[in-house]
Amino acid sequence: MRVLEEPFMTREAILAVLGPGRPASEARFRTLRHNHYASRGLRADLRSPLGRVLGQAHFYSSLNADAARAARFGERRLAQGLADQAQEIERSHQAEVLREAVEVCGSRLGADPDPPVSLQRYLRARARASWRGLDQHAMTREWLIHSGAWLSEDEHGDLAEAIVELARRMSETRARLHCDALPPVSTFFGIVRRMDAVAAEVQGEAETRLLPREDLDRQGLAMVGQAVTLLCESLPAGGSLVLALPAVVLEAPEPSIARSPWDLPDGDGAMAVSTPIDAADQAWLTHGLAREPTAVPLAPIQKA
């Protein structure tokens, strides 16, 4: 399994790192820019195949999240250094390759009457959990920045290559600028393996973490199989912050081969199908059984 951070993020995600729990506002981002704590960002022009302007998507190197966090801790020079490096990355050839992919994907959306399933899922999830949920155009522009929107079109592997290179440059920059000098912060990459109404289990390379499902819902990430980045931070006055963001999955492990969902029981009488399940799935199911069962109302349709 190879899960990497998304190379770009939205303005809202940067502001979520700057002030956890505070609503995103243009004014706060302008202040960041004014103090050189954020890069200029990239702009993708979205046009229909006939050239009609559909809108613009703005996005920023993910190093801006580190810069925002440094700014919150009062590490001004570090924040400015990170923002400068973020700008360098945004000027790179790889960033340009990905910007074009966003434009192509966005333009295709304008021509296609049926939005892709991942966009439909994103809009549904965020509509329930975000104050911006009603603004579908803004949500669509946010979705376009996620690699899930355009990575499937990567026939020659150029986009994956660009993502790997940008991830390498970002982690090199973090090491060079000693970002680890900030209070305890860790980044966890993994894939959502199990989920219920309350919690979700994210499996990383070496460990598995649990987080409230709501945290994934808010970001439009509550889906089994979704790759996520968890930015984890111990807060100075106690407690901790976990911010879930999308991630890129480049080499997903194939789930163990299951029998076809359409296989039917055979034999006679009330014989049941026996299906082997993973021990972790069984544990998850057993946890669920400990909860209060759902009460079933009487059958609303009469038996003939």
Partner 1 sequence: MSFRRASGHDAQRFEHFRCSRGAFYEDEVEQFVCGVALEHALEFAGYNLLVFLEGERLVAVAGHHRENLLANHGDRTQLIMTTRLQVLALATEDQGRHCSDGRRVSALVLDTLINDALVGYEGDVLTAIVARENLCCLALLERHGLRSQVEYDALHVRLSGHFKRKPPIVK
* CA 107/CA 228 separation, integer angstroms: 26
For partner 1, the closer CB: 157 or 265: 265
Q: Does 210 bind partner 1 (CB under 8 A)?
A: no
Given 101, 195, 227, 230, the residue binding partner 1 (CB under 8 A): 195
Q: How many CB atoms lie within 10 A of CB 44?
A: 23
Given 27, 50, 117, 206, the residue binding partner 1 (CB under 8 A): 117
Q: Does 221 bind partner 1 (CB under 8 A)?
A: no
C-alpha count within 13 angstroms, C-beta hemisphere, residue 296: 3
Q: Does 113 bind partner 1 (CB under 8 A)?
A: no
One character per residue 31-60, x = contact with partner 1 (rule: CB under 8 A): ------------------------------
* CA 11/CA 142 separation, integer angstroms: 9
Q: How many CB atoms lie within 10 A of CB 288?
A: 14
Residues between 253 and 292 with contacts to partner 1, criterion CB under 8 A? 254-255, 257-258, 261-262, 264-279, 281-282, 284-286, 288-289, 291
* CA 248/CA 154 separation, integer angstroms: 13
Contact (CB, 8 A) for 39 and 90: yes
Q: Does 196 bind partner 1 (CB under 8 A)?
A: yes
Q: Which of 184, 272, 194 is closest to 232 using CA atoms? A: 184
Positions touching partner 1 (CB under 8 A) are: 117, 120-121, 124, 193-197, 223-225, 254-255, 257-258, 261-262, 264-279, 281-282, 284-286, 288-289, 291, 293-304
